[in-house]
Structure 1
């Protein structure tokens, strides 16, 4: 079985060092007091493009040879990977085409356009956007840079795991966002390679969690993509998934799903108690703790994976019903 090793992740860190920024790890007094163990927040939403996706995209583009760079790159994205690939490609002077569904929030589409990438809006799911990306590979010779099921992308995301273990050497539990599995498998490979005793738990949403459905079925399956506050976690894992399904199956200790109200409560807590603005996917680690769906054992790290939320939506969440439901 093809996989991504700790060596691959360490090599990726060297490759992207000048293209990404190590992000802060901070201690959460509010969550630590509430749960009785040290809880730390990995502030990955402060990455240059507002999410962890820059790590994988930068490693993928930096790994290309001159001939591949001349072809240009294409991907299907729920927004954050597209933004990261657009940024990484612009730094290298490479053409980038980003295919997205109609479910991708307008603010994410506009940021990708601002970075100079070409945009294709196709269909109502990431799977439909993926079909368009594959057409561009066949018809125009562009090079596919997948959002998750790619060894260079996984290795790039895994650099976040290296930083977690270095910042919190005694970490016992890590809550990581779970969608297509690029981040979860990369972080788990890094963490298990350095500290095998640490538990890595994948967190997703109840509405359209493709990886969880696939793990339950024992093989990749297709699920309906539904609107969710955790829009970055939408999309399928690919029926021909080569890497992330097996890595998540073998490396994750558990998978937890959250309701929309629980995700909203996580956004509210991040803003009011941690003074951090995060999108729905970025708040799922906090949300899982607040909902009682994970009982942390020992030092715990939550990844705040992205901040690219529409600010009108953010205001409505922090001023709306979720405010009344949040933890005191």
Structure 2
């Protein structure tokens, strides 16, 4: 296992990010799950970043990145490519900081997430049938209009911003020995892993993704970033590639991740259903993968240990959510 500093992000970066973004983000609570201890044999803590202003953890990294732009970069504006939550975060951070913003998205993005981005004041551009094609449009805006790309996950300032959730979690629950983190492009897992391993090198950090197009896990298996076919999933926020030229999140996830788990759609649905009926939480599929991994038995607690998972967002299509928690076909 490598060191976090080898990949360019360290604990000091995350602590500086927390000071920087404090006026703009919520310090979200950590609560014990009421309905899980008996089922899984351990206390389970929930880090509720679904309570951020934009409904997901993404506001942390986007805000930290944009606060570090030069005056000239702010004037030229920013662009982001997003399946929804990152776009919403960039739009909100740009609005708060007075920076022009454009968000590129693929045709697969759910309508509720598109509307959410527009509600925060950013211009939206629909381009292509995949995240990769939407990224092409974002890069064109960088080349031709001089905008700055606010990467979804693969930038040290974004990773450091996401890692602030890990600092808060470990302050609230210092005895955690296992962390379950939703895994897509790896920004959240990388940042939290840096914070966690600095606090306690023996903490297990486990990345959880879906069986349908898990780009980071397929890249880890291949030993390098690879493309995967993007597929529809209840955990749509975990979709998309990690970028073939990934420089930051892939090395950190590879160095600091202790295990990686894939869930079926039924297992993701079980996590969403549990959070709703037993914890009174509305959570998108990506937020529920930690719970799904526990309920399925794919993650086992250590003897006497405490597990924590990040409830990373609540921006779910409510028609789909209602079908899932009612036990109907989805």
* Same fold at TM > 0.5: yes
What does 1:100-119 align with in structure 2 at a 5 Å threshold?
Answer: 100-119=105-124
* Mapped partners of 2:25, 2:42: distance in 1: 31
Structure 1, unpaired ranges of 5+ = 324-328
Deviations 1:159-192 (A, max 9, x none): 0110111111111000001000000000001110
What does 1:34-183 align with in structure 2 at a 5 Å threshold?
Answer: 34-183=39-188
Partner of 1:220: 225
Match of 2:307 among 300, 305, 316: 300
Deviations 1:15-72 (A, max 9, x none): 0000001111111131112222111111110111000000000101111121110010
Partner of 1:326: none
Partner of 2:200: 195
Match of 2:325 among 311, 318, 321: 318
Deviations 1:177-230 (A, max 9, x none): 100000000000111011111000000000000000000000000000001000
Match of 1:274 among 249, 273, 279: 279
User: Are residues 1:237 and 2:224 paired?
Assistant: no
Partner secondary structure for residue 266 of structure 2 = helix
Runs of 4+ in 1 over 3 A off after TM superposition: none
In the alignment of these two chains, the number of paired residues is 323
Deviations 1:83-112 (A, max 9, x none): 000000000110000001011110000011
Distance 1:197 1:2, change over 3 A: closer
TM-score by length of 1: 0.97
* Mapped partners of 1:117, 1:172: distance in 2: 40
Distance apart, 1:322 and its partner CA: 7.5
* Mapped partners of 2:196, 2:121: distance in 1: 35
Partner of 1:205: 210
Deviations 1:261-315 (A, max 9, x none): 1101111100000100000001111001011110022111011000000111111
Partner secondary structure for residue 7 of structure 1 = helix
Q: Is the 8 A contact 2:9 2:156 kept in 1?
A: yes
Q: Is the 8 A contact 2:190 2:249 kept in 1?
A: yes
